[in-house]
Structure 1
Amino acid sequence: MSLPRVLITGGAAGIGAATAERCREEGYDPIIIDREGSGIRADLSDPEATAEALREALARGPITRLVNNVGMVCPATAEAQTLAELDRVMALNLRCAMQCMQALLPGMKAAGFGRIVNMASRAALGKELRTAYAASKAALVGMTRVWALELGAHGITANAVGPGPIRTELFDRANPPGSPRTQQIIDSVPVKRVGTAGDVAHAVAYLLDERSGFVTGQTLYVCGGMTVGVVDL
């Protein structure tokens, strides 16, 4: 018997790679679409390239689990954020998620089962230098809630995961270990550490599980408590 498949966008590195590895441990067959790595190679910021990659992914049959993980950040102040940057961020972080959902949806409906997990961010609640990124992630949370309402009767759940500061290669380049700025971030987290990609993958695995069918339309923040309030330092 073939393993249940899960499509993961941006699964070649970081949180996506950790999610793919956790999915293998859970008994799934992860299908990865990314610009890099050994999976299906595609530039997901391009709608036509995305459509072709999705056709390739679905050539072996329906896929009933989806992790919309791919994303990008264009840090800038509100006055300096360009319209071109906004368009690029929205195309990858938001349009791609909708396109993937629509491609997999017929198979989910036919099976009477589906799990959609969208990778949002704590930044959706507000973060400096993140106008385009925060807007895209807040929009993704809104779409998740609508999908939950529309698709629940078909046995399909839609949820979001909102990571806080997560230690990845990208994080370490921007926040070198031992630097005052990095320590400031750690001090602001109630559990006094930054998260790992595995922390996020664990949350995703829960929402992908067949037994999580009564959880939908939710955003699970994996942030060490940062969304609760401010630590009194």
Structure 2
Amino acid sequence: MSKPITLITGASRGIGLALAKDMAARGHHVIGLSRSAPKEGFPGDYVTGDLSDAADTARALAEIAKTYQVDNLVNNAGLITVERLEQASLPAFEQMIAVNMRALLQCSQAVLPAMKAKRRGRIVNIGSRAALGKEGRGIYGGTKAAVVGFTRSWALELARDGITVNCVAPGPIETELFRDANPPGSPQAEALIATVPVGRIGQPSEVAAACAYFMSDGAGFVTGQVLNVCGGLTVGQVVM
């Protein structure tokens, strides 16, 4: 039996790289896609493409489609700029729309022919707890709320084709970028930890484990769902 082929965007570091390692360990043939290749060894094949550019995204996806029939897609790539409403800029808005929404649409469309031909596919979109609201994340949270909308609508559209679409929405996760902004032991890091019910920051491997479930054969009856991997931060939040 051939290995399932799993395409992961934004796989050069952080959650994406952790997910690539996790899926490779589970026997998947992993393909990474992002603007730059990982600095450390990558457990699979890698294609570079600038997801903020529609034409280059299309080129990279066409290159992948020539060689692979993708079984699983994780739309992990994301861009965040922290700006309050008064400072929010149109360039930042347009970049986040491009990476967090438009690229997600392109990647999902690109894998559909192979998935429909096999009548089996898994799409996992990476959202964020920020979709529920967080200061300075108006644009970012808005794009991640749109990811939830994509997930639910596409789940309905693709269910009869054997394709599931789900969303994993992380809270604070200990990536390189997180630690750059919140050094261990710093006042801001300790203040954030104090708000998390489980009393710690999450690990990229924990997000990877949630994604792995949605990609498993055992999750075939689960679609259109949002799983918050947030240490309990979303408990009690009102979701309309």
TM-score relative to the length of structure 2: 0.94
State the shift of 1:218 in Å. 0.4
Distance in 1 separating the partners of 2:236 and 2:159: 32
Q: Which runs of 4+ in 1 moved over 6 A?
A: none
The percent of aligned pairs where both chains have the same amino acid is 50
**Residue in 1 that maps onto 2:179:** 172
Report how many aligned residue pairs link the two structures: 230
2:198–2:232 CA contact under 8 A, matched in 1: yes
The reply on whether 1:151 has 2:158 as its aligned counterpart is: yes
> Which residue in 1 is equivalent to 2:7?
7
State the AA in 1 paired with 2:11.
G
Instruction: Report the Cα offset of residue 55 of structure 1.
Output: 1.1
Q: Shift of the alpha carbon at 1:4?
A: 1.2
**One-letter amino acid of the counterpart of residue 33, structure 2:** I
Q: 2:99 aligns with which of 87, 92, 101?
A: 92
**What is the CA-CA distance between 1:26 and the residue it aligns to?**
1.1
Offset, 1:37: 1.5
User: Do structure 1's residue 105 and structure 2's residue 141 form an aligned pair?
Assistant: no
C-alpha contact 2:5 2:68 (8 A) present in aligned 1? no
1:23 equivalent in structure 2: 23
Q: Hey, what's the Cα distance between the residues in 2 that align with 1:228 and 1:29?
A: 36
Q: State the match for 2:170 in structure 1.
A: 163
The superposition leaves residues 101-148 of structure 1 with CA deviations (integer Å, 9 ceiling, x where unpaired) of: 111101111110010000000000001101110000000110000000
1:52-97 deviations in Å (ceiling 9; x for gaps): 1111111123212100000010111111111221111010001101
Amino acid paired to 1:11: A
> 3-state SS of the aligned residue for 1:151?
helix
Structure 1, unaligned stretches of length 5 or more?
none
* Partner residue in 2 for 1:117: 124
Asked if 1 retains the 8 angstrom alpha-carbon contact of 2:34 and 2:49, the reply is: yes
CA contact (8 A) 2:173 2:201 kept: yes
Instruction: Report the CA distance between 1:2 and its aligned residue.
Output: 3.4
Q: Find the residue that maps to 2:86 and give its secondary structure.
A: coil
1:49 alignment partner in structure 2: 56
- Range with bigger deviation, 143-152 or 52-61: 52-61
Tell me, yes or no, if structure 1 residue 189 matches structure 2 residue 196. yes
Deviation string for 1:12-36 (max 9, x for gaps)? 1000000000100111011000112
Equivalent position SS for 2:85:
coil
Q: Secondary structure at the match of 1:167?
A: coil
**Cα distance in structure 2, aligned partners of 1:208 and 1:47:** 27
How far apart, in 2, do the equivalents of 1:104 and 1:84 lie? 29
